[in-house]
Every structure is written in C-alpha cells, then in structure tokens.
Amino acid sequence: MSILITNVRLYGEGDPVDVLLADGEIREIGAGLSVDGAEIADGTGQFLLPGFIDLHTHLREPGREDTETIETGSAAAALGGYTAVFAMANTSPVADNAVITDHVWKRGQEVGLVDVYPVGAVTVGLEGKQLAEMGTMAAGLGAVRMFSDDGMCVYDPLIMRRALEYANSLGVLIAQHAEEPRLTKGAVAHEGPTAARLGLAGWPRAAEESIVARDALLARDAGARVHICHASTAGTVELLKWAKAQGISVTAEVTPHHLLLDDSRLETYDAVNRVNPPLREASDVTALRQALAEGVIDCVATDHAPHADQDKCCEFAAARPGMLGLETALSIIVATMVDTGLLDWRGVAQVMSENPARIVGLDDQGRPLAVGEPANVVLIDPAAEWTVEANDLASIARNTPYQAMTLPAKVTATFLRGRATARDGKIVAG
C-alpha cells in the first residue's frame, strides 16, 4: 500500500514537492513523481510536518470509560494530527503496575490509530508515600519510559529524590505536576484580583514555582533529568531559564490553553474554565509564549482531560479540573505562536513533534521529513478556518473551552507508519 502526497510544502517551506509513503517509510521525495497504484492525496496549498507527539494526555481507561476510552482518545489524537500520545497514570485503578501499563500499550496497538505510550505512576496509588514498581513497568510490554503522578504532585522531597535516582538508573523520565499541596488546599482558580473579586479560592503562583525550583535542585544533585508538566507562570519561566543556565537537565511543556486563555475567562463562572494549574494572568500568557518561542519551554503538551457533563456543568468549586485539547491543539498553536510571528512552521514541528520525541527518547517519531524515515506525518491546511463544535469532536466528553470559537488551520490527514488514520476530519478504519 503506497500513498503519494502531491504538491505539498515540507514544513511550509520551499517549492511544493511530491512525497511517496510506502511500506511504512518515506520512500521518495521529488517533483513530478508518478507511481503506479499509489493512492493520491492532493497536498496543494498544504504543509507536511512530522506527526505530533503529546507527552500529556488523559485517556481515562481503565475506570472512566464514560468520558474517554483508549479508542475514542486515539481517534481524537489522530484527528488532531498526533501519531503518539502518552497516557497519564491517574486512571482508576491507577497505572502503578505493569498489568495496567501493559494493557494501555496493547489496547492502543489494537486500536491502531496512534501509538499510546503508558505513563507509569511514580508512587503507589498516586499517594506520594511509596515508590511504585518503576522497574517492572519499564521492563514490561508497555516499556514505560515516562513516570508521573500527574494530577497530584510528588510533594515529599525525599520521595522525589529517590524517584529521580531510580529514574536515572532505569534511563526513564520523571514528569512532575508542580503543585505544593499545602499552598493549594481548596484552591480552584489563580490567586489574583479576579479570583478575589469573584470569591474563588486562590492557587498561588508560588505553589508551582516552589516545586519547580526544588525539583531542579534535586535533579541537579541526582544528576537526573526532570520534566515539568504544564508550566503556567512567568516565574516558572524564570526558574527554567536559571536551571538550564546551570546545566541542569530540566525540560518543560506548556499547554495550548495556557498559551491562549487567561483568568478573565472566569467572569462567567463557567466550570469549563476550571483547570489545574489554573488559567493565569495575561502577563503569564505573554511570558509562556515567549518562553516557547525561545526554547526555554521545550514543547507543547495538551493535558487533554475529558470530564463528564455532571462533573463540569455544576458550580465552579465543585467541578473537576481539566479541558479537552487533542483536536484543537494545532489550531491554538497557530493562533498564539504562528499568527503572532513567534514561531514559523518548522518551529511548530520542533515544539509539537521533534522536541517531545527527544525528551522521551522515541526514535521512530518526531523524525525529519526525509527519505528512509518512518512515515509518521501530518498534512495541514494552513489557510483553513473552522468553528469548534463540542458535539462534533471524537472525544466522548464535551468540555472544550473553545466551543463556538473560529480557529485557524486544520489537520487534513494523519499517517501512522504510512497508513492514513484520519482524513478530511474523519477516522480511517484500519
């Protein structure tokens, strides 16, 4: 089975070329290719990028299949241009053992739309008290390469230190949800004038920043790598700059929603805007965009967090935190980073594909668009505009903060190992 993508611009640069995908590889790149029997995908006016990799996705299987499954989450990912996602461990039961992490990997492969890499929990039950069996999970079928208690912080500095030491010896990555829990008890919104006026309990920036600073120091002493999930404040950006300048192995991600939205959204008390870490202030948004453009923040990760209607259509403080993100990520990055002149399309490939692959050490994803490379690629119409309609998304849950917004750029096809997984907004059955 081969596919010829015609008249497409690689990374949105240079003259259009034809790209032949065959046997899972990029087989040929050139002008005016003609291949007998190849299916044609017309790339006129479109850009080709390496498939996106999401280091931070919540797929809710096992336990909350009423909000998302590996199958529906994989569909959302393929439609969003992703060829690999990392499924967080805060499922029910928690993915703190190889039975669950192996299941996540196997189920993802059965569905076949995107490679679903399981994230293992750092501590048993995400309780922060006892290290999970990281070695068994790393050695399992799911070959866990990233561990995180995301949703919860590994708050105990000694446990975090031990986790970093183990991770180092196993060659895996610890991703930290940076939130000092003693500073966020009861908090539901960014601590600032908006939350004060609206009567919402505040989540101070220092709750994030104190853990970022602490973990950078712990990583330094352990000679280990640490990855900061969903960076949300200007202060975190300053700490990352400092840590990187010291030669500490720290990487960080930012979510599309923290690049677009700020706490002025809370005025309506609509709980669709409740998320952890919370939407911050406009000055934080500016700093996060700049940091992503300059490489202080390494990559974009969605923190795709599906929730049931009953957990979102309720009073703000009772709602669960989190927002959908997989199907809208590219458009939000174009709106916040490309249309503002902060990144070009090669930069988009870096922050959505190449850098995430490097951070977790994937060797078949996030590769250059070149002959002989795996055919994990995404075709994008940069001139498209579309209006988000929650009911039309592939996710089971509907908690998108972008409902009814008109957004730029659209994924028109995603290819995993040369097979189309999504085309023209529809999933292609395997």
Annotated binding site for substrate: 58-60, 90, 276, 307, 321-322
**Closest by Cα among 243, 252, 248 to 224:** 248
**227 belongs to the binding site for ligand DOR (CB under 6 A):** no
Among 72, 176, 255, 276, interactor with ligand DOR by CB under 6 A? 276
Q: Which of 303, 364, 381, 424 is catalytic?
A: 303
Among 9, 27, 58, 258, interactor with ligand DOR by CB under 6 A? 58
Element (H, E) at 238: helix 234-245
Number of CB atoms found within 10 A of residue 246's CB: 11
Active site residue 263: no
Residues paired with residue 50 on neighbouring β-strands, in sequence order: 377
**322 belongs to the binding site for ligand DOR (CB under 6 A):** yes
Write down the residue that tokens 């009073």 correspond to. 315
Q: How far is CA 274 from the centre of its chain?
A: 18
**355 belongs to the binding site for ligand DOR (CB under 6 A):** no
* 8 A C-beta contact, residue 88 and residue 57: yes
Number of residues that bind ligand DOR (CB under 6 A): 12
Residue number closest to ligand DOR, CB atom: 322
Q: Whole-angstrom Cα distance, residue 224 to residue 134?
A: 15
Q: What are phi and psi of 331, to 5 degrees?
A: -60, -40
CB of residue 379 to ligand DOR, shortest distance in Å: 30
Task: Please tell me what DSSP assigns to residue 353.
Answer: I
**278 belongs to the binding site for ligand DOR (CB under 6 A):** no
* Binding-site annotation: residue ranges: 56, 58-60, 90, 150, 177, 230, 276, 303, 307, 321-322
Residues paired with residue 26 on neighbouring β-strands, in sequence order: 21
Which residues 76-95 are close enough to bind ligand DOR by CB under 6 A?
Answer: 90
Taking CB under 6 A as the binding criterion, the range among 73-81, 317-325, 351-359, 377-385 that sits at the site for ligand DOR is 317-325
Q: Quick one: 6 or 233, whose CB is closer to ligand DOR?
A: 233
- What is the per-residue burial (b if ≥16 Cβ within 10 Å, else e) of 72-93? bbbbbbbbbbbbbbbbbbbbee
Q: How far is CA 340 from the centre of its chain?
A: 21
CB of residue 186 to ligand DOR, shortest distance in Å: 16
Which residues 120-139 are close enough to bind ligand DOR by CB under 6 A?
Answer: none
**214 belongs to the binding site for ligand DOR (CB under 6 A):** no
Strands 115-118 and 146-147: unpaired
Residue type, 273: N
Strands 406-416 and 419-423: antiparallel
**184 belongs to the binding site for ligand DOR (CB under 6 A):** no
Rg of the chain (C-alpha set)? 21
* Binding-site annotation: residue ranges for Zn(2+): 56, 58, 150, 177, 230, 303
**73 belongs to the binding site for ligand DOR (CB under 6 A):** no
**177 belongs to the binding site for ligand DOR (CB under 6 A):** yes
Among 12, 51, 140, 151, interactor with ligand DOR by CB under 6 A? 151
Q: Which residue ranges make up the site for ligand DOR (CB under 6 A)?
A: 58, 90, 150-151, 177, 275-276, 303, 305, 320-322
* Catalytic residue numbers, as ranges: 303
